[in-house]
Amino acid sequence: MTVMLLQMDSITKKYGEFSANRSIDFSLAAGEVHAIVGENGAGKTTLMRILYGMEQPTSGTIRINGKEVSFASPLDAIRGGIGMVHQHFMLFPSFTIAENIVIGNEPGTGAAFNRREAIKTVEGLCAQYGMKVDPNAVVSSSAPGVQQRVEILKVLYQGAEIIILDEPTGVLTPIEVQELLQAIKQLSKQGKSFILISHKLSEVLDVADRITVLRDGAVTGVVNKQETDAHQLSRLMVGRELAELDRVPITPGEKVLEVSDVTINGTKGKPVLDAVSLDVRAGEIVGIAGISGNGQSELLQVISGLAQADSGRLAVAGKDVTGMSTKEIREQGLAHIPEDRYVWGANRTATVMDTGLMGHQRRLQQNGFLKLKDIRKVVSGWVQKFSIKTGSLETSTQYLSGGNLQKLIVARELEQGTPFLIAAEPTRGVDIGAMETIHGELLKRRESGTGILLVSSELTEILKLSDRVLVMYEGRIVGELPAKEATEERVGLLMAGGA
Ligand SMILES: Nc1ncnc2c1ncn2[C@@H]1O[C@H](COP(=O)(O)OP(=O)(O)O)[C@@H](O)[C@H]1O
Ligand SMILES: [Mg+2]
């Protein structure tokens, strides 16, 4: 029997009564790419924090090349040949790339930082591993894809043989994702081993040799890439079969949103929104794709009355709403699943009931009285339909997990029954099962004639649901494609600023 490079046996991690990892076995061969998939909260990051010495297992053993090890800290793990690139980059933004890579381990003698040595070191690493970065560039002005390469070069510089990547593609453009997957393939050919945590099955199926699936802290399957597919993997992740979505053909009706030449002047001479025009018709889903930060948030704020444009006009459900307040626009027929549930969607101290009720008062009011019994029925209906985990309807929303609060707000806004709905990042932070429910409900609203403006940083979500796809780049709509022509490649290119 060959000895595995890494062998984790029967790893259990308890937090009080709760087991985040339950007797997990995991192995990694030299040069292997082993992906770990699983829904939010399945225990993936916990397992990796244990391997990287950030947490101690409650029980279980870790062996490297057959020898038992115990890492008391990340520094220990780094000495043991483990490198970890976290979900959120941990670079010094004002430092150069070279400084970031060698920091804590500077080449040369003496206390002084030897810039020339550092640059040479980084150039050497780039040549050795076939990755390109400019050692002199400052991190804060480098694209996310570049920053991630810097993180990877940093762990390679530290001598990592095993590289852990925790959800590495969340902040990348499709082109950057392709570059990352290429780099992983290239490095694994050179003998480096990877543990790749991801919830994007297409990426996993592209790059991994083996895939371990976790659910509720336990392994539900270990499969070879050749012997599996996205269906099997999602079944293992969720524990049941997922339904296929079907988007019935519709004929779009009246315009429920009209945005004409909306501009917000920026402070640096560059407009934040540059004469943006678009419309959404009844019964269609219009998706806005784009890397976040290209004006999508500002556009939604203007449409929902949270911010005022410097020029341009807006109409909702056929009425001019330019300059109106949020409340007034809502009354014209807008519902809004907000991008940031904590800022716009909920008051932390309000109960589940109060939060569910926001914006519904008028509809539920009869003869001037809110019928408490009816309201309870409606809200507990949502709790069931979306499997919202809450103690009771009187629980304060600050005790709900992010995903459960998201589901509550989605339910509330879907239920407004308005002609126009903004759905901004509607499935952020929710698991696959809830995602399926939310997508199904959005399509139901579409069929019942609501026009939906969908903004999402998940391109797969945009492509799955939209009848038309608009792409935003640097404050402008740079492309519009009907669903049939909106392929990942074409939209991805537009998102990156390509023509
Ligand atoms: N320090 C901690 N204390 C208590 N519970 C935790 C802690 N860290 C993680 N958990 C819980 O363990 C579970 C697994 O979390 P995590 O490993 O981050 O999942 P994943 O990375 O698969 O989304 C979650 O339910 C999380 O809330
Ligand atoms: Mg995680």
Token pair listed for 372: 């408490």
Distance from the CA of 166 to the center of ligand 2, in angstroms?
A: 7
Ligand 1 atom index nearest CA of 55: 1
Token pair listed for 161: 């043989």
CB atoms within 10 A of CB 376: 13
Rounded to 10°, the helix 144-157/174-189 angle is 20
Cβ proximity of 193 and 162 under 8 Å: yes
Ligand nearest to the CA of residue 431, numbered in listed order: 1
Ligand nearest to the CA of residue 40, numbered in listed order: 1
Q: Whose CA is nearest to atom 8 of ligand 1?
A: 46
Does ligand 1 come within 6 angstroms of the Cβ of 276?
Answer: no
Alpha helix stretches (DSSP H) within 114-215 = 115-129, 144-157, 174-189, 201-207
Does ligand 1 come within 6 angstroms of the Cβ of 41?
Answer: yes
Indicate the helix (H) or strand (E) that contains 165: strand 162-166
DSSP 96: B
Ligand 1 atom index nearest CA of 217: 14
Give dist(CA 128, CA 101) in Å, integer: 15
What contacts 43, CB < 8 A, 6 or more positions away? 13, 20, 21, 22, 24, 214, 216, 217, 218
Nearest 5°: phi and psi at 476? -125, 155
Ligand 1 atom index nearest CA of 40: 23
Nearest 5°: phi and psi at 147? -60, -35
Rounded to 10°, the helix 115-129/174-189 angle is 80
Give dist(CA 10, CA 496) in Å, integer: 44
Q: Please, which residues have CB less than 5 A from ligand 2, an ion?
A: 45
Does ligand 1 come within 6 angstroms of the Cβ of 40?
Answer: yes
Does ligand 1 come within 6 angstroms of the Cβ of 46?
Answer: yes
Ligand nearest to the CA of residue 214, numbered in listed order: 1
Distance from the CA of 19 to the center of ligand 1, in angstroms?
A: 9
DSSP 293: T
Q: Strands 210-215, 218-224: parallel, antiparallel or unpaired by DSSP?
A: antiparallel
Q: Strands 285-289, 468-473: parallel, antiparallel or unpaired by DSSP?
A: parallel
pLDDT of residue 286: 98
Does ligand 1 come within 6 angstroms of the Cβ of 24?
Answer: no
Tokens 């600023």 identify what position?
497
Does ligand 1 come within 6 angstroms of the Cβ of 36?
Answer: no
pLDDT in tens, the chain (499 residues): 578 999 999 999 999 989 999 999 999 999 999 999 998 789 999 999 999 999 999 999 999 999 999 999 999 999 999 999 987 778 999 999 999 999 876 655 555 567 888 899 999 999 999 889 999 999 998 888 899 999 999 999 999 999 999 988 877 777 888 899 999 999 999 999 999 998 788 899 999 999 999 999 999 999 999 999 988 998 898 887 766 777 888 899 999 999 999 999 988 778 999 999 999 999 999 999 998 889 999 999 999 999 999 999 999 999 999 999 999 999 999 999 998 776 656 677 788 888 888 877 666 665 555 677 777 888 999 999 888 888 889 988 888 877 888 889 999 999 888 999 999 999 987 877 888 889 999 999 999 999 999 999 888 899 999 999 999 999 999 999 999 999 888 898 898 887 6
Distance from the CA of 196 to the center of ligand 2, in angstroms?
A: 11
Give dist(CA 31, CA 188) in Å, integer: 5
Ligand 1 atom index nearest CA of 20: 12
Ligand nearest to the CA of residue 39, numbered in listed order: 1
Q: Whose CA is nearest to atom 24 of ligand 1?
A: 41
Q: Whose CA is nearest to atom 10 of ligand 1?
A: 20
DSSP 458: -
Rounded to two decimals, the pTM is: 0.71
For the sheet with 210-215, list strands across it: 82-85, 162-166, 193-197, 33-37, 210-215, 218-224
Distance from the CA of 63 to the center of ligand 2, in angstroms?
A: 23
Give dist(CA 471, CA 212) in Å, integer: 35
Ligand nearest to the CA of residue 87, numbered in listed order: 2
Token pair listed for 361: 């008062």
* Size of the chain in residues: 499
Rounded to 10°, the helix 115-129/144-157 angle is 100
What contacts 242, CB < 8 A, 6 or more positions away? 231, 234, 235, 432, 433, 436
Distance from the CA of 46 to the center of ligand 2, in angstroms?
A: 7
Distance from the CA of 43 to the center of ligand 1, in angstroms?
A: 6
Ligand 1 atom index nearest CA of 13: 12
Q: Whose CA is nearest to atom 11 of ligand 1?
A: 20
Give dist(CA 399, CA 404) in Å, integer: 10
Does ligand 1 come within 6 angstroms of the Cβ of 430?
Answer: no
Does ligand 1 come within 6 angstroms of the Cβ of 37?
Answer: no
CA dihedral sign, ordered 139, 141, 142, 147:
positive
Give dist(CA 280, CA 451) in Å, integer: 6
Cβ proximity of 389 and 404 under 8 Å: yes
